[in-house]
Structure 1
Amino acid sequence: MRKVLLSLAVLALAVPAYAADHYNKKVKVGDQAPDFSGIPAVAPNGEQTSLTLGDIKEDVVVLVFLANHCPAVLAADDRIIEFTSEYKDKPVKVVAVAVSNADEDKLPGIKNHAKEKKINYTYGHDETQAIGKAYGASNTPHFFVLDKERKIRYIGAMDDNVMNETKVTKHYLKDAVDALLAGNTPPVEETRPAGCGISYAK
């Protein structure tokens, strides 16, 4: 029953694109990205580490909010891994954070999931949920692309069909990152994040 309810919560419709500041009311494209530091995390080699924005040296940062209990995240897992592999030799750093306090989303669950899926990006858990609130993350997966000055340049979905990769026709995240690497403005700056809603403690 829990899985059924979670599936019903997933927004799997086509993802429309809009000009910046349409969906996220906490931050907008062009804003300085909220800082974060010391978030307990699991590195790609399985060792425990921490996530600190200031420690990232790459020109482009892709921050994605995930939750391992979410069907939309499970559907996008392989795509995120493939994306990370595609940019491993470029100045792009992919990092993920869960803010859910479900067992699957806490650090031990993340470590198990990372081992099972051979996840190739650093994946942390923020039990305070502060990073999610700061970025206005509303769904999982929810992507934020930061440029070299750590300004937000893209907010939203990875592509236009979170649940079915075979039906994807638009690659919003890839297009945004490629544009920044070329010194250009992303062609689409904000899309609706499709996936499971994030529950925040009051």
Structure 2
Amino acid sequence: MKIQTVLGIVAAALIAPAFGQEIPKVLEIGSPAPEFSLKGTDGKTRTLADYKDAKALCVVFTCNHCPDAVGAATRMEQIYQDYKGKGVAMVAVNANNPGSLTPDELGYSPYNDSFEEMTPFAMENGWTFPYLYDGENQKFATACGAQATPHVFLFDGGRKLVFTGRMDDMKRKSGPTEKSYLRDALDATLAGKEVGEKTPRPFGCSTKWLFKASNVEKDEANWKAKPVTVEDLSVDLAKKLRANGTDKIRLINFWSTTCGPCVAEFPELVETYRRFQNRPFEFISISIDPAEKKAVVGKFLTSRHAALSDKTAPSVKEEGRTTNNYIWTAENTDPLADAIDKDWTGALPHTVLLGKDGKILWKHTDKLDIVEVRRQIIKALAE
């Protein structure tokens, strides 16, 4: 687990009691815009007063991880480009606390909702409007009653709420849409008219309130309690792993306990497996340590909690397998390479992403960029 996630859990545990466990109500139409002072990805702190001259202020509560937020991201930028010349200001606000997200909620984006990960998310989506962070204490989100990601709040020139809800009906789909509730509301507001549909129900992942940190603690405890096993890998089984033929894509990692980069990246691979465990995805580790080091390998895997997910266990059992961790016991690694990746040079670590038909979709030798790995997994799952 990343350091910022651990810190998020601690912060959430300390702050949550003050907020209780009740989800705040959505701000009512006609209410004044709540004050805010929030830091953005550009290092600047924005306040409500900064937008005093705007004809309308559009606040979109969103995040880095939610598939609905990801799908809406490019449409947000297009709306901003279409309306900024008309006097409309837009800000995106991430109110999620990363310590309130369990790993299996992160299977649709390479990013968590930390402040640090907001910058690459915004850059990848070409955002030119401010992206602000409210995940530390969630005061602004609480005042607005932000329910989901994305959730839009549109305030008129007098900073009265005239529209709140979903942008459109695209949900997690990306690309343009013919029907946009937000555009209709913006057009009406700029024309001095009453907004027609004022409160279309927002749709997306729920706001990750601070009190949800307790869910993360329980999930961590459950995962760490799972048994970790390692079995010998034969040539025949290696060939079956490569052929795949299941409904899952597979990420196979060749590693060793004596390989520094292997040891360093392994926790992130386990975290990645946990992120995608609810999707048709499987992580398989293959140790190249000597056969007599099997106990050492098992101890390492246990210390890194490289368990088999309950979601994956049934399909593994159907294949006649009992684990997701293996050790190559033969001295010669050539048969292993021939079985899984004949182009593998033997250098460690080596990682291969397999499609459902066994085709190699992506591979990498040496230490991984874990964000790129997750990006490749998401790409493969979308095909």
Q: TM-score w.r.t. structure 2 length?
A: 0.43
> Which of 134, 149, 160 is residue 140 of structure 1 equivalent to?
149
For residue 191 of structure 1, what is the aligned residue in structure 2? 200
Structure 1 residue 167: Cα displacement: 9.1
Structure 1 residue 163: Cα displacement: 2.2
Distance of aligned partners of 1:97 and 1:167 in 2 relative to their CA distance in 1, 3 Å threshold: closer
Query: Does 1:34 find its partner at 2:43?
Result: no
Separation (CA, whole Å) in 2 of partners of 1:28 and 1:109:
32
> Which of 60, 72, 80 is residue 76 of structure 2 equivalent to?
80
Separation (CA, whole Å) in 2 of partners of 1:199 and 1:110:
15
Structure 1 residue 168: Cα displacement: 4.4
Q: Percent identity?
A: 34
For residue 130 of structure 1, what is the aligned residue in structure 2? 139
Structure 1 residue matching 2:44: 3-state secondary structure: strand
Structure 2 residue matching 1:65: 3-state secondary structure: strand
CA contact (8 A) 1:146 1:153 kept: yes
Structure 2 residue matching 1:104: 3-state secondary structure: coil
Distance of aligned partners of 1:121 and 1:166 in 2 relative to their CA distance in 1, 3 Å threshold: closer
CA contact (8 A) 1:105 1:125 kept: no
For residue 126 of structure 2, what is the aligned residue in structure 1? 118
CA contact (8 A) 1:40 1:107 kept: no
Query: Does 1:150 find its partner at 2:159?
Result: yes
Distance of aligned partners of 1:200 and 1:49 in 2 relative to their CA distance in 1, 3 Å threshold: same
What are the residue-to-residue correspondences of 1:36-55 with 2, within 5 Å?
Answer: 36-37=36-37, 39-42=38-41, 47-55=42-50
Distance of aligned partners of 1:96 and 1:167 in 2 relative to their CA distance in 1, 3 Å threshold: closer
Structure 2 residue matching 1:153: 3-state secondary structure: strand
Separation (CA, whole Å) in 2 of partners of 1:120 and 1:169:
23
Structure number with the higher helix fraction is 2
5+ residue gaps, structure 1, are 1-23
Of the two structures, which has the highest relative contact order with CA contacts closer than 8 Å and spacing of 6 or more? 1
Query: How many residues are matched?
Result: 174
CA contact (8 A) 1:36 1:131 kept: yes
Distance of aligned partners of 1:169 and 1:88 in 2 relative to their CA distance in 1, 3 Å threshold: closer
Distance of aligned partners of 1:183 and 1:160 in 2 relative to their CA distance in 1, 3 Å threshold: same
Separation (CA, whole Å) in 2 of partners of 1:150 and 1:167:
28
Deviations along 1:98-154, one digit per CA (max 9) or x if unpaired, are 011227323221112122222111001111111111100010000000011110000
Separation (CA, whole Å) in 1 of partners of 2:73 and 2:205:
14
Separation (CA, whole Å) in 2 of partners of 1:187 and 1:113:
33
For residue 61 of structure 2, what is the aligned residue in structure 1? 65
For the pair shown, which has the larger CA radius of gyration, 1 or 2?
2
Q: Which segment drifts farther, 110-119 or 183-192?
A: 110-119
Q: Which segment drifts farther, 49-58 or 97-106?
A: 97-106
Letter in 1 for 2:40: A
CA contact (8 A) 1:160 1:169 kept: no
Structure 1 residue 166: Cα displacement: 6.9
Structure 1 residue 165: Cα displacement: 5.3
Structure 2 residue matching 1:190: 3-state secondary structure: coil
Separation (CA, whole Å) in 2 of partners of 1:173 and 1:201:
28
Separation (CA, whole Å) in 2 of partners of 1:50 and 1:161:
31
Separation (CA, whole Å) in 1 of partners of 2:25 and 2:122:
31
Distance of aligned partners of 1:186 and 1:34 in 2 relative to their CA distance in 1, 3 Å threshold: same
Structure 1 residue 170: Cα displacement: 2.6
Letter in 1 for 2:147: S
Separation (CA, whole Å) in 2 of partners of 1:25 and 1:194:
15
Separation (CA, whole Å) in 1 of partners of 2:119 and 2:176:
30
Separation (CA, whole Å) in 1 of partners of 2:66 and 2:36:
24
> Which of 91, 95, 99 is residue 95 of structure 1 equivalent to?
91
